[in-house]
Structure formats: structure tokens, C-alpha cells
Structure 1
């Protein structure tokens, strides 16, 4: 268990450059004191650097820039293809995450209703007079720019949406959708419950990505929008389960 936690901590740091003790504890579903011990051990081994309130890791700036540009382009293509699935008059549920926020940007000026718990989506759409924006209430999670909790879940039980766009941290070999933050899972499941069409957004890096908590099996997904970096075997499994695949 310790070695697995250490590997996952390093994976998070490699992706983000730094992380707080609280964020890592939430992601890995362990106590902050356990994370502090893990970080001290990894720091002593020279694998990362312990900083006040968390940890950081050195990364190659050139590699980071190239990866960021590449991922941004892939996410943008996915967002554009996903937004094309929205029809005028639709009620659209949008999950948290960078690709979901890009979908929101693509939907500016549309005659639709958008419902979200993502602060990033709110930032993209709050000045748009053409669409109606409904913000789910709840406790604000600043690290994830999201709102979670009973208020958001209760609100979602009153909504029937035309389509939802769901983010994910990992698409597993059996086609199931996972998330790296268990706190977000009930919201994601409620988004699926409230929607007629269910579209998952996942770039190739999400195959298999990070898996902490299972959100849903492939039977609950109508469409996956991804790029040509997605694992072919996993895509085949999704197709067998009846999921439509769009390669952006």
C-alpha cells in the first residue's frame, strides 16, 4: 500500500508540478498525517521536494511546455467535436475539468440552458446574454474550481437535461469511467442520472489515466469523445458495450 501511494503521489506531482497535503489526502483517500509521512519519505529519497503545506517536483520546462501545448490542442479538438452535439434549446449539464470548460467556451452565443458546478465554466459563460446559466450550489473546492455537497446533489434531482458532458481522470480497460477525487463522484453520477444523453470527454492520456474511484460502467455512457492517442483495446471494449466513439 505504501509503495502504491508513493507512486500515485509522484504521478500527481509529475502532472501538476506541486500539490498540497490536503489535496493529496483527498485524492488518495488517506489522512493528512499519512500523506505527510509519505512526503517526508519521498523527500528523503530525493524523488521530490518537501515544501510548506505540500510538495513539488522538478520538471523539464521545455517538455512541460510542449506537453501543455499538445494537450491543449487535443482538448480543444475534443471540446469542439463535443459542442457540435448540442442543439438549440437543449438543457446542458457540464462537469468540471479543463476540457469541459473548453466545451463551455464553444457554446457561447447558443440558445441553450447550461447547468454546472464548475467555477471555470461559470467564468466562461457568465457574461453571455444568449444562454441561460444555472449554477449549482454547494461547498466550494478551490483546488478543483468546483462546488460539491448536498445542495448540488439536491438541485440535480430537480433537473432533466438533454445532454451532459462528463470529465474523467481515467478510462479503464473494461470501459469504466473513474475519477481521482472521490468527493466529486456523487456529483458526476448525479449528472448522468439527470441526463438523456451522456457524453464523456477523455483525451488519450486518460487511458488508463488515474483511477481512485469508479464513477460508472460503459453501459451508462452514450458517447465518448477522444483523440487518436486513446487505447484501441479500450475503445473496442466501449464499442462492444454500445458506446459511440468520436475521434476528434
Structure 2
């Protein structure tokens, strides 16, 4: 059936792919998204970086911003923590702890989300596997979705970073509604019909180029 803003998506079976495999796809798009996202951060901010290849691109772009000082980064991603190590002492990098999930090198519950109950961050950068105007923000696995939910609650500004292939898609685990996100940063390959439907829900969208 059809709905306003496009057809109701089919929930197709998708296998979760390892971080290293996903990292080699759509690298140019992720890079420009990362640069735009990093440009929104000011000196002295506290940020949360979610696990994922697009958030890794954000981390890399933050590192090369020599003007940034006194940045505190909380992350549940081991690879992002290692990427950010070169930015110490300009950055303070805090790893959440938790249970290691090898597929994405992420730390999850048990224990993983407790830290987010104790902090108030300026900005969170979240990745996802799907963003749809009616089905909301979704993810391909359950453990990391719960971590993302806690991250949302711990930050004042909530930014979704997702390449165009994620726009209009729906995956297994529901994270939140479109209205719970302040800004979507994507690239020019995103379906314009879906973007228009998202904007109708008052979601701010920035197209990286």
C-alpha cells in the first residue's frame, strides 16, 4: 500500500555486516557527512559518539580541526576511542565500559549504558540503519539500539548522521520517532521524496556536499 511520502517499506531480511566490511562502502559520502557534522562543534563542548562507520568519519573530522580544545567525547566504540587517541590532550576521551560486541567493536549492556545516566552532553551523533517518516529511526540489532536510546536521553542536541542509502529504510529495532531527532545530516543520494516527508514532520535536514 502507499502512504503519504512514499510506499510503506517492506521489512526485508538483512544480515548485519562487520564494521570492516561496511567501512569500505560509501566512503566518500560518509567523509563529507563527517566533515559537516564536525563543523557544528564548538570549543569546550561535550559530545557523545555512537558506534558506526559514519560516526567514525565524524571522529576523524573532529581530529583534524586544530581549533578545537577542551572537547570531551564519550563513546561506546572501541575503534572511535583509538582514532581519537591522537587528539589527546586537546580531547578527553571517555569509553563507556560494558560488554564487548565484536561485530561492530561496540560496548553494550550489561553495564554499557550506566554512564549515560550520569552525564549531560551538549551533542550526540547517532548512526542508524534506517530512517523513515512513519516508521521512525531503526537499527539492525537490539543491543546497540538500547545504547543509542540512552545516548539520546543524555544529550541536549540530537544529530543523526546517515548516508543516503539509509533514508527510507526500516530495520528490526525501533529507536525513536522522527520528532525525537533535532537534525539529520545525509548526502545528496538520499531519496528526495522521503526527505520531503521528513521535513513535513519538522525535521531539520542538512545535505553534505
Q: Any residues of structure 2 matched to 1:18-37 within 5 Å, and which?
A: none
The 1-side partners of 2:183 and 2:44 are apart by: 20
* SS of structure 2 residue aligned to 1:107: helix
Query: Which residue does the alignment assign to 2:95?
Result: 135
Partner of 1:102: 57
Q: CA deviation at 1:168?
A: 0.3
Shift of 1:175: 6.2
Tell me which residue corresponds to 2:27.
72
Compute the RMSD of aligned alpha carbons.
2.2
Matched residues in 1 for 2:111 and 2:62: separation?
A: 26
Larger Rg: 1
2:155 paired with 1:195: yes
Alignment check: 8 A CA contact 2:159 2:185 kept: yes
Which structure has more relative contact order (CA 8 Å, sep 6+)? It is 2
Runs of 4+ more than 6 Å apart: none
Deviation track 1:2-42 (CA, whole Å, cap 9, x = no partner) reads: xx99x62xx438xx5xx7xxxxxxxxxxxxxxxxxxxxxxx
SS in 1 for 2:189: coil
Residue in structure 2 matched with residue 153 of structure 1 by the alignment: 113
SS at match of 1:211: coil
More helix, by proportion: 1
What is the CA distance between 1:156 and its match in structure 2?
Answer: 0.3
The 8 Å contact of residues 132 and 170 in structure 2, kept in 1 or not, is answered as no
Equivalent in the alignment of 1:91:
46
Q: Secondary structure at the match of 1:152?
A: coil
Q: 2:78 aligns with which of 108, 111, 119?
A: 119
Partner of 1:78: helix, strand, or coil? Answer: helix
TM-aligned CA distance change 1:168 to 1:117, over 3 Å: same
Query: Equivalences for 1:53-64 in 2 at 5 Å?
Result: none
Aligned counterparts of 2:56 and 2:193: Cα–Cα separation in 1: 28
Gaps of 5+ in 1: 20-63
Q: How many residues in Structure 1 have an aligned counterpart in Structure 2?
A: 191
Match of 2:5 in 1: none
Q: Which has the higher strand share?
A: 2
Question: 1:173-188, aligned counterparts within 5 Å?
Answer: 173-174=133-134, 176-188=136-148
